[in-house]
Structure 1
Amino acid sequence: MATTRTARSHLRRTAWAAACAALLTSGVAACTPDRPEPRPAAEALAAALASGDFADVPLDAGAPAPAELATRRAAVVAGLGETATATVEVGDITTADDDETATAALDVTWDVPWTDTDWTWTADARLARDDEDAWTVAWSPGLLAPGLTDTEVLRAERTAAPRGDVLGAGDAVIVTPRDVERFGIDKTRVPPDQQDAAARALAAALGTDADAYAQRVAGAGEKAFVEAITLRVEDASVDKMALRALPGVVAVPDRVPLAPTRTFARPVLGAVGPATAEVVEASEGAVAAGDLAGLSGLQRQYDERLRGTPGVTVSAVPAEGVDSSTVRLLFRTEPVAGEPLRTTIDPALQEHAEGILAGVAPASAIVAVRPSTGDVVVAASGAGGEGMSTATLGQYAPGSTFKVVSALAYLRGGLTPASAVTCPPTISVDGRTFGNFPGYPAAALGDVPFRTAFAHSCNTAFIGSRDLADSGALADAARSLGLDPAAELGFPAFLGAVPDESSGTGHAASVIGQGQVLASPLGMATVAASVAAGAVVVPRLVVDPEPGGDPAAEPSPDTAGSTADAAADTAATVQPAAAAGPATPLTGDEAAALQDLMRAVVTEGGATLLADLPGEPVLAKTGTAQFGDDADLRNHAWMIAVQGDLAVAVFVGEGDYGSTTAGPLLRSFLAG
């Protein structure tokens, strides 16, 4: 009759005791048994549970084969995601009094996706000696997850975190979840042979690409909903009842982060939508397909801050083909809401500016900055910019608005507002003739005070005075007024660039804001703000950029680049000096003189249309910059102004003159 396990254990203990007694009788001082410990077997099991390779595990006779266990483990943990990894450490091992069985505590840690909190738990592994006195492991599905059965697998799911709002001046809410309806084709509501026609009918009603949408519908699953457009609940620009009446069309209610209007500061703020493959890849696992993510503008730059941290659950669920609905929750982390992003945008002023630009066809912008703080309260770009942030990233010749910079350089060269300068009808530099704008007043020609030449924007007087300030002095004056090409502002922006090495016709063009001089509307608003503040102003749009966000991040497609007009303004990209050093600080006397000059533009020069505005006195400077070739010269129209604690720049990419095209827009803005 076969010997039982208990009997074998008794015989081994008896034999060992007898042998030990004999050794003691013969004079040996001690008797130490050479029996294996359970820890190596437990460590082999721990390594296998972490890696999925059970080849080196000393499994007992009743356990599945190592290859079968590897397959089983892979099926169980697949639902945790490809990036999930496990570590298993052997803790305390308790051996039974008879030294024949043991229990090993295995400390399991799973690094599951989407959360920094690990899933940790302890598995109890059972071990026993075999006939050869070696330790073996008893298999249990509970070694893979607490209480797991052979009919269960694991599934990890994420719960989206509430996205942080984008706030404006005074913490006014700008971007926040708002009610929308997602219109599209529900393929379960239209027969397969009619789905192509249904898709094309919906696309035609929306004025979108019918071929592209029909292809998307055809490629989706047989029960899919294929979205065509998302509309705000209050949006009356589309006949929603007519859409609903189309075959297969349904409207799915939802809430998504949106600004007050479809166009509100969109080139700057950007958009939120389903994460693209590019966004998912760049997030290194933090964003999954289907998540809402920032796609452009500040929403993308500060997406890490705004999106928060999703909640994660790990559950034991029935394996495929198992007839059960039981789901056991094993692990949970709660979602952590995203942090708000505070900006300086004033919602009322921004909407006011966008309303003024609504009827302007070319690229256009209105920027308003508080001289006292540098806060950018308006960064409005017109529709003519085709999604580009003309306000903050446009690169254009600033024309005569740049004479504020040249005037500072000339003040430092010895002029005063009362100094006499000569304003002839034309002036020649190295064979190139420069003139004043058509219709320049004859009364302001000849020998006139510098204040008069500035007020009427006499090109020839500024070019004739160019020896008072070389290109280096001009570049320094620009940086003294905030036109710094190397400024780091915490958001994608271009302020301006001035060549620090130019001569002849190049320098002559620079002093009147043409040639290689470039500026954005934000940059020229900063110049006006610096004059008003009496010190260099650094524009601020994002109040608290940390944590999250990369101020040096590449602008997204909605906010990047400059227009073809900008390329025509300059023959080469202007690079800042390699070691320019700090700009010369603006003095109180210099600021007062510039304020006097800019006030004269309103009282006697090209901006008299602003003279009767109520409130504090207005300071201003007009600007017109030519671009294009000689056969097709066109004008950028500019005007900058200061009233109280508001410095404003208005730009129109193609117009008549600063005073006639940009001026009325600026008056409307200040009057409002």
Structure 2
Amino acid sequence: MGKNRTLTSVLAVSALTLTLMSCSSDKPSPDDAAAVLAEGLSSADVSASSFTAGTPAQVNTELETLLAGMGPVRPAVTVAGIDEDAENDGAAAARLSYAWDVNMDSAPDWSYESTAQLRRGDDDAWQVQWAPSVLFEPLADGDRLVRTTSPGLRGEILDRNGQPLMSSRPVLRIGINKPDVPAEQQAASATALAELAGLDPAGYAAQVEASGPEAFVEAIVQRQEADGPVTPEALAGIPGALSLPDSRVLAPTRTFARALLGTVGEATAELIEGSGGRLSAGDQTGLSGLQQQYDEQLQGAPGVAVTLENTSGSNIVFSTNSSDGTPLQTSLDPRLQTLAEGILEDEPSASAIVAVQPSTGDVLTVANGPGSEGQQTALLGQYPPGSTFKIATSLALLRQGSTPDSVLSCPAELTVDGRKFNNAGTYPAAFVGDIPLRDAFAQSCNTAFISTRDAVSQEALAAAAADLGIAVEQPIGTPGFFGSVPETAEGTNHAASLIGQGEVLASPLAMAVAAASVGKGERVTPVLVSADPAAGEEPTSSAAAEPAETTGAGSLTAAEAASLRELMRGVVTDGGAAMLLEVPGEPVLAKTGTAEFGSETPPRTHAWVVALQGDLAVAVFVAEGELGSTSGGPLMQAFLDGAAG
């Protein structure tokens, strides 16, 4: 019996132990509470956690204050470990690991640990003993974290010789300084300054009114060496008007390659929102053109400092050094760019001059006239190329066995499916009838080329155009339109395609590439933005055009190119570009063209001229011009004369 009692006692004790262990294991683990807290801190929303004092909403409000100066940056928080109190199963400490990406380069750079005390509540659920130190050990009530950035030197956009196209230049920030003018005078001063600067008076006055009482409200940034529009004398007469010296990254002149290079200025709200935290208010950034497209490369990585601030002052708790931006290499020739812009400065309609070096494909000029009103006519314009497209039609004819001496029929008028096609009103009567291809090309006989519509299919025409670089997309480092030539077309559409109208479109860039291809004897691959020669890397763009597919060097042969050059020389010696005979240097080869548009009678016309001289190919375009020889011709002559100087 004694042995039985002993066994019974042992079993009873064992059962009690198992019961206690079971009850203990049913209680929540602190691990879960720590994981929930870490997840909430990562998003600055701890609504899913429970606290020993205060509600989750109150803690969220305090977190918002602590992090307000950090902008969009938030830490990645994980649980590094749990330290349970051996003498008190109702207490534990969660070690939290923080990883911040304060410079927004997608890699953590500031890491540390903090501790959160956990307590088991009456319902056995774990609660957090909240304090600012849970976010960062040194934080106390009334403190906050503040992130500031300091940019490195902005990378320069370089010309083909490695010299900067834009650099830091002195400017004047001109505006109304509200503390310097009585409130009742502010609207009148804002209106007067806006009228002087060429701004919307009502809009600027509203901007001044909406700004704080201590604000300086910028109206215009003006080059320090500029004569106007805001002169010191005029500014002195406006109460509260102020001129502050500063610097900006600027091109040599206000208009120099502006549509291509773009501008640099203070980040707009839209750019800040779309930057993913890379930009902050007050940052200088690219606002347009290559400066915006390659801003991330040019800007480099900013230096970042995180300070702990309170009413007593501030101290830096973390910092990184800035790194300078990487230069952006272009193929622009600043002398030729300036020359082209000067030639176009009096043209009222949209206009462009694009120059390409056939041997390298380097795009030397991307000039837009003032009539383009800031638009990128040179690279993105989409216009029918008119008779300049006869270079492609002639190539298709050569491939059908024609030669420059082959005879074509050039009637005064030709009807295709009910539509009448005519030659230009100035077409010389002596060249009507059966004439050789060389004369049809030199005199630009529309009806002669349309007469070949049965011999030259639309597919063959598109293939010939492609071998000259027309409608072949190329990754030049910035958006560009290379043309559009339908591969199928019938009747009047096919007839119009043969003379560069109908559905055929091109840009000045595309036609310059076509001329360059004739000069080189094979299809040219244009280059505008290339790798940084010092870094040996490809340019990086956060907003670059998608890489375009190319199809090799095409199938243009040296013999075909030689025949095309012979035809183009005839335009200068015997045709509509005779003024180019006077250009000094190597012989000039050319093709003029017009393209009708609009519904007026007579219709308005685009004027084109493409030319080759040595290792230089040029396209001149005027949106509302006369015949190519009388509108584009003088512009081409002026450019080639200047280029030779």
Q: Same fold (TM over 0.5)?
A: yes
Moved more, 458-467 or 347-356: 458-467
Structure 1 residue aligned with 2:571: 601
2:641 counterpart of 1:641: no
Structure 2 residue aligned with 1:221: 212
- Indicate how the Cα distance of structure 1 residues 42 and 159 shifts in structure 2: closer, same or farther if over 3 A, else same: farther
User: Which of 110, 116, 119 is the aligned partner of 2:106?
Assistant: 116
Where 1:408 maps in the other structure, the secondary structure is: helix
Opposite residue 623 of structure 2, the aligned amino acid is G
Structure 2 residue aligned with 1:481: 468
Provide the C-alpha distance between the structure 1 equivalents of 2:380 and 2:29, rounded to a whole number of angstroms: 65
User: Which of 198, 204, 219 is the aligned partner of 2:189?
Assistant: 198
Provide the C-alpha distance between the structure 1 equivalents of 2:118 and 2:570, rounded to a whole number of angstroms: 95
Moved more, 254-263 or 347-356: 254-263
Counterpart contact for 2:523–2:554, Cα < 8 Å: no
- Indicate how the Cα distance of structure 1 residues 643 and 110 shifts in structure 2: closer, same or farther if over 3 A, else same: same
- Indicate how the Cα distance of structure 1 residues 542 and 549 shifts in structure 2: closer, same or farther if over 3 A, else same: farther
User: How far off is 1:256 after superposition?
Assistant: 2.1
Provide the C-alpha distance between the structure 1 equivalents of 2:125 and 2:626, rounded to a whole number of angstroms: 96
User: Which of 547, 553, 557 is the aligned partner of 1:587?
Assistant: 557
Provide the C-alpha distance between the structure 2 equivalents of 1:589 and 1:341, rounded to a whole number of angstroms: 38
User: How far off is 1:355 after superposition?
Assistant: 0.5
Counterpart contact for 1:599–1:618, Cα < 8 Å: yes
Structure 1 residue aligned with 2:626: 656
User: How far off is 1:353 after superposition?
Assistant: 0.4
Counterpart contact for 1:43–1:89, Cα < 8 Å: no
Identity %: 47
What pairs with 1:252-267 in structure 2 (closer than 5 Å)?
A: 252-267=244-259
Where 2:297 maps in the other structure, the secondary structure is: helix
- Indicate how the Cα distance of structure 1 residues 240 and 120 shifts in structure 2: closer, same or farther if over 3 A, else same: same
Unaligned runs of 5+ in 1: 1-22, 555-578
Opposite residue 81 of structure 1, the aligned amino acid is G
User: Which of 254, 258, 277 is the aligned partner of 2:269?
Assistant: 277
Structure 2 residue aligned with 1:75: 65
Q: Deviations over 1:602-634 (max 9, x none)?
A: 222222211232222211111122222252412
2:626 counterpart of 1:667: no
User: Which of 394, 400, 425 is the aligned partner of 1:438?
Assistant: 425
Counterpart contact for 2:530–2:539, Cα < 8 Å: no
Structure 1 residue aligned with 2:541: 548
Provide the C-alpha distance between the structure 2 equivalents of 1:377 and 1:43, rounded to a whole number of angstroms: 65
User: Which of 422, 425, 429 is the aligned partner of 2:409?
Assistant: 422
Opposite residue 37 of structure 2, the aligned amino acid is A
Structure 2 residue aligned with 1:18: none
What pairs with 1:503-522 in structure 2 (closer than 5 Å)?
A: 503-522=490-509
Where 1:171 maps in the other structure, the secondary structure is: coil
Where 1:211 maps in the other structure, the secondary structure is: helix
Q: Provide the alpha-carbon RMSD of the alignment.
A: 3.6
User: Which of 617, 621, 629 is the aligned partner of 2:599?
Assistant: 629
- Indicate how the Cα distance of structure 1 residues 442 and 103 shifts in structure 2: closer, same or farther if over 3 A, else same: closer
Counterpart contact for 1:46–1:90, Cα < 8 Å: no
Where 1:497 maps in the other structure, the secondary structure is: coil
User: How far off is 1:496 after superposition?
Assistant: 1.4
Moved more, 590-599 or 545-554: 545-554
User: How far off is 1:117 after superposition?
Assistant: 4.5
Counterpart contact for 1:81–1:113, Cα < 8 Å: no
2:241 counterpart of 1:249: yes
Counterpart contact for 2:349–2:624, Cα < 8 Å: yes
- Indicate how the Cα distance of structure 1 residues 135 and 623 shifts in structure 2: closer, same or farther if over 3 A, else same: closer
Q: Deviations over 1:197-241 (max 9, x none)?
A: 010110121232111111111111111111111111111232420
Provide the C-alpha distance between the structure 2 equivalents of 1:436 and 1:128, rounded to a whole number of angstroms: 94
Opposite residue 48 of structure 1, the aligned amino acid is L
- Indicate how the Cα distance of structure 1 residues 641 and 58 shifts in structure 2: closer, same or farther if over 3 A, else same: closer
Provide the C-alpha distance between the structure 2 equivalents of 1:277 and 1:392, rounded to a whole number of angstroms: 29
Moved more, 72-81 or 619-628: 72-81
Q: Deviations over 1:93-124 (max 9, x none)?
A: 59899999987654333344734343211235
Where 1:288 maps in the other structure, the secondary structure is: coil
Moved more, 455-464 or 352-361: 455-464
Q: Deviations over 1:511-558 (max 9, x none)?
A: 12222221111111111011011111122211135422444369xxxx
Unaligned runs of 5+ in 2: 1-8, 532-537
Moved more, 382-391 or 281-290: 281-290
Q: Deviations over 1:458-512 (max 9, x none)?
A: 2222222332201111111111110015444432211212232223332222212
Counterpart contact for 2:151–2:302, Cα < 8 Å: yes
User: How far off is 1:412 after superposition?
Assistant: 0.8
Opposite residue 295 of structure 2, the aligned amino acid is D
- Indicate how the Cα distance of structure 1 residues 183 and 97 shifts in structure 2: closer, same or farther if over 3 A, else same: same
- Indicate how the Cα distance of structure 1 residues 176 and 355 shifts in structure 2: closer, same or farther if over 3 A, else same: same
Opposite residue 397 of structure 2, the aligned amino acid is Y
User: Which of 520, 525, 549 is the aligned partner of 1:533?
Assistant: 520
TM-score, structure 1 as length reference: 0.82
Provide the C-alpha distance between the structure 2 equivalents of 1:228 and 1:601, rounded to a whole number of angstroms: 52
Number of aligned residue pairs: 618
Moved more, 216-225 or 135-144: 135-144
2:383 counterpart of 1:396: yes
Where 1:461 maps in the other structure, the secondary structure is: helix
Opposite residue 149 of structure 2, the aligned amino acid is R
- Indicate how the Cα distance of structure 1 residues 191 and 446 shifts in structure 2: closer, same or farther if over 3 A, else same: same
Provide the C-alpha distance between the structure 2 equivalents of 1:106 and 1:434, rounded to a whole number of angstroms: 81
Structure 1 residue aligned with 2:293: 301
Q: Deviations over 1:277-328 (max 9, x none)?
A: 332333233233443333332233223323333322211111xxx3x2x211
Provide the C-alpha distance between the structure 2 equivalents of 1:121 and 1:542, rounded to a whole number of angstroms: 43
Moved more, 213-222 or 538-547: 538-547
Where 2:601 maps in the other structure, the secondary structure is: helix
Counterpart contact for 1:414–1:468, Cα < 8 Å: no
Structure 1 residue aligned with 2:368: 381
Counterpart contact for 1:183–1:230, Cα < 8 Å: yes
What pairs with 1:93-242 in structure 2 (closer than 5 Å)?
A: 93=83, 105-112=95-102, 114-118=104-108, 119-123=110-114, 141-242=132-233
Provide the C-alpha distance between the structure 1 equivalents of 2:127 and 2:632, rounded to a whole number of angstroms: 87
User: Which of 69, 72, 77 is the aligned partner of 1:87?
Assistant: 77
Provide the C-alpha distance between the structure 2 equivalents of 1:531 and 1:106, rounded to a whole number of angstroms: 68
Moved more, 473-482 or 280-289: 280-289
User: How far off is 1:332 after superposition?
Assistant: 1.3
2:37 counterpart of 1:48: yes
- Indicate how the Cα distance of structure 1 residues 437 and 194 shifts in structure 2: closer, same or farther if over 3 A, else same: same
Counterpart contact for 1:48–1:54, Cα < 8 Å: no
User: How far off is 1:142 after superposition?
Assistant: 3.5
Counterpart contact for 2:74–2:100, Cα < 8 Å: yes
Where 1:468 maps in the other structure, the secondary structure is: coil
- Indicate how the Cα distance of structure 1 residues 96 and 581 shifts in structure 2: closer, same or farther if over 3 A, else same: closer
Counterpart contact for 1:114–1:158, Cα < 8 Å: no
- Indicate how the Cα distance of structure 1 residues 426 and 302 shifts in structure 2: closer, same or farther if over 3 A, else same: same
Where 1:79 maps in the other structure, the secondary structure is: coil
2:581 counterpart of 1:611: yes
What pairs with 1:436-475 in structure 2 (closer than 5 Å)?
A: 436-475=423-462
Counterpart contact for 2:208–2:217, Cα < 8 Å: yes
Opposite residue 77 of structure 2, the aligned amino acid is T
User: How far off is 1:70 after superposition?
Assistant: 5.5
Counterpart contact for 1:163–1:306, Cα < 8 Å: yes
Provide the C-alpha distance between the structure 2 equivalents of 1:71 and 1:395, rounded to a whole number of angstroms: 55
- Indicate how the Cα distance of structure 1 residues 70 and 666 shifts in structure 2: closer, same or farther if over 3 A, else same: closer
Moved more, 246-255 or 279-288: 279-288
Provide the C-alpha distance between the structure 2 equivalents of 1:158 and 1:143, rounded to a whole number of angstroms: 25
